[in-house]
């Protein structure tokens, strides 16, 4: 099983970054996949002055790939503006992890959906319109 995952996926699975909650989060994204059972919750803290994401944490119930993609998306998003963060695709998350098996690409889609959900929660709280984004996984089996 382990051989199908890159070393970076295994590293983020064994030693995930940014696990936990942000009590006073500016945005929270919740997603789940009923087919595989993965559930992700992503928290972001945003500096309202320049809309830079200053912190991100996650809680994920799921497989190793779900945990690794959650960990990686929190690393990728920190220090980015809301606008820059919205450009982080599921493929960018998978690529940053050194790739994912085709059957696990849906985990990177969940990470992207959780991020957009957290950003939309932030935008809603600040009276701004949500971002509509089409999520697709061209590598899905």
Residues with catalytic annotation?
36, 107
Please provide residue 119's backbone torsions phi and psi, each rounded to the nearest 5 degrees: -65, -45
| Contact (Cβ atoms closer than 8 angstroms) between residue 97 and residue 72 | yes
Query: What's the CA gap between 20 and 6, in Å, rounded?
Result: 24
Of 8, 66, 11, 70, nearest to 43 by C-alpha is 70
Residues 19 and 62: beta-carbon distance below 8 Å:
no
């Amino acid at each position: 099983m382990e051989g199908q995952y890159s070393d970076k996926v295994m590293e983020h699975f064994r030693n995930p970054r940014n696990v936990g909650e942000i009590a006073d989060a500016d945005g929270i994204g919740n997603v789940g996949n009923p087919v595989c059972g993965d559930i992700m919750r992503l928290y972001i803290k945003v500096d309202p002055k320049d809309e830079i994401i200053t912190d991100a944490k996650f809680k994920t119930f799921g497989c190793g790939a779900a945990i690794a993609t959650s960990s990686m998306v929190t690393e990728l998003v920190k220090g980015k503006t809301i606008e820059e963060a919205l450009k982080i695709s599921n493929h960018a998350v998978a690529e940053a992890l050194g790739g994912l098996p085709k059957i696990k690409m849906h985990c990177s889609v969940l990470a992207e959906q959780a991020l957009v959900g957290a950003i939309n929660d932030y935008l809603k709280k600040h009276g701004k319109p949500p971002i509509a984004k089409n999520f697709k996984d061209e590598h899905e089996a």
